[in-house]
Amino acid sequence: MSASLLPVAVKIVEVGPRDGLQNEKQTISADVKIDLVNRLSDAGIPNVEAVSFVSPKWVPQMATSSEVMQGIQRRPGTIYSALVPNMKGFDAALAAKMDEVVIFGAASEAFSQKNINCSIAESIERFRDVAQAAKQHGMRLRGSVSCALGCPYQGEVTPEAAADVVRRMRDLGCDEIDIADTIGVGTAGQVKRVFERAAKEFPLERLAGHFHDTYGQALANIYAALEVGVVIYHSSVAGLGGCPYARGATGNVATEDVLYLMHGLGISTGISLDAVVDAGQFISEQLGRKSSSRAGSAIAAKRAA
């Protein structure tokens, strides 16, 4: 911790190629995804959630995941992660030589029931075989706790409910656990309470903040998490993403915006903001729309002036 009591360095996990692109309706070619992942790892991002190995009937955009992983230039030291829902997904992740697999569960009972038709406890139990296989093969295992700060169906989600899922994921052997504000409704005081409570179940230095900017609170929430001592943050280049199950939910907080905040605070990330701005401009052009990153757009406009 520095004199200001903020961390001196943080790890940024880029989730745009998976969490972001999975929500795009238009088909994005494997070549574009490969180019994007390469640009992000070349920018110095230490962990890229590149793909998911899920049912193509549920998420057609991720059907090219094996091809993407075969096509990228692996940067030594970069952790490439894949979200997997079951053993079929795990086997594909193993074949693709992923460094990390990501399992997921909701902190909201209503969300779990509506979306996957089972309780939170049952849903986490279903990942036991994936967790064991990951350990067996020496892969990193990450758990994602979605709807940890609010739910589109039940509304409030308590820190206790989020901590309960964190505990279950810890017991499965997760190396890192994300607290995700899937619909972007959380506010700074709530963020502090959730992380302080979760840290009683799992080491704070391995808890990650995954914020969406739906209500414009993401950077404030990140600052609140920094004050608690959280050192891992998820973000998405150009703010790609959304939530298919929550109408109106915007993307993940933009990587460019998070880097601008961190570097302004003197917090080291090891990442080139300029190179991420380029990646953001690249993918926005491919998608035929403006970047959702405020810092990315401002820096690009300044360059063009």
Q: 107-144 burial by CB neighbour count: b if 16+ within 10 A, else e? A: bbbebbbebbeeebeebbebbeebbebbeeeebbbbbb
Give the pair of three-digit tokens for residue 110: 């209503």
**CB under 5 to 8 A by kind: which of Mg ion, ligand HMG, none does 104 bind?**
ligand HMG
Query: Residue 89 or residue 299: which is nearer to Mg ion going by CB?
Result: 89
Query: Residue 47 or residue 281: which is nearer to ligand HMG going by CB?
Result: 47
Using alpha carbons, list the distances in angstroms from residue 304 to 255, 300, 301.
21, 6, 5
CB of 1 to ligand HMG, least distance (A): 28
**CB under 5 to 8 A by kind: which of Mg ion, ligand HMG, none does 59 bind?**
ligand HMG
String of contacts with Mg ion for each residue 227-256, x by CB under 5 A? -------------------------x----
| Strand-pair category, 79-83 with 100-106 | parallel
Binding segment for ligand HMG (CB under 6 A), chosen from 54-62, 166-174, 219-227, 297-305, is: 54-62
Query: Residue 49 or residue 278: which is nearer to ligand HMG going by CB?
Result: 49
Q: Which of 14, 19, 49, 100 is in the footprint of Mg ion by CB under 5 A?
A: 19
Q: Which of 4, 27, 31, 58 is in the footprint of ligand HMG by CB under 6 A?
A: 58
String of contacts with ligand HMG for each residue 8-37, x by CB under 6 A? -----------x------------------
- Is the Cβ–Cβ distance between 77 and 46 less than 8 Å? yes
**CB under 5 to 8 A by kind: which of ligand HMG, Mg ion, none does 105 bind?**
none
Query: Residue 104 or residue 195: which is nearer to ligand HMG going by CB?
Result: 104
The dihedrals phi and psi of 160, each to the nearest 5 degrees, come to -65, -40
Give the separation between CA 92 and CA 90, rounded to whole angstroms: 5
Secondary structure percentages of the chain, helix, strand, coil, to 5: 45, 15, 35
Q: Which of 6, 42, 55, 114 is in the footprint of ligand HMG by CB under 6 A?
A: 55
Give the separation between CA 254 and CA 238, rounded to whole angstroms: 5
- Is the Cβ–Cβ distance between 269 and 259 less than 8 Å? yes
DSSP 8-state assignment for residue 127: T
Give the pair of three-digit tokens for residue 83: 């979200």
Query: Residue 180 or residue 299: which is nearer to ligand HMG going by CB?
Result: 180
**CB under 5 to 8 A by kind: which of ligand HMG, Mg ion, none does 85 bind?**
ligand HMG
Q: Where are the alpha helices (DSSP H) in 43-173?
A: 65-71, 87-95, 109-116, 120-125, 128-136, 159-172
85 binds ligand HMG (CB under 6 A): yes
Q: Which of 41, 78, 81, 146 is in the footprint of ligand HMG by CB under 6 A?
A: 146
Residues forming contacts to ligand HMG in the complex (CB under 6 A) are 19, 52-55, 57-59, 83, 85-86, 88-89, 104, 144, 146, 180, 182, 210
Interface contacts to Mg ion, rule CB under 5 A: 19, 252
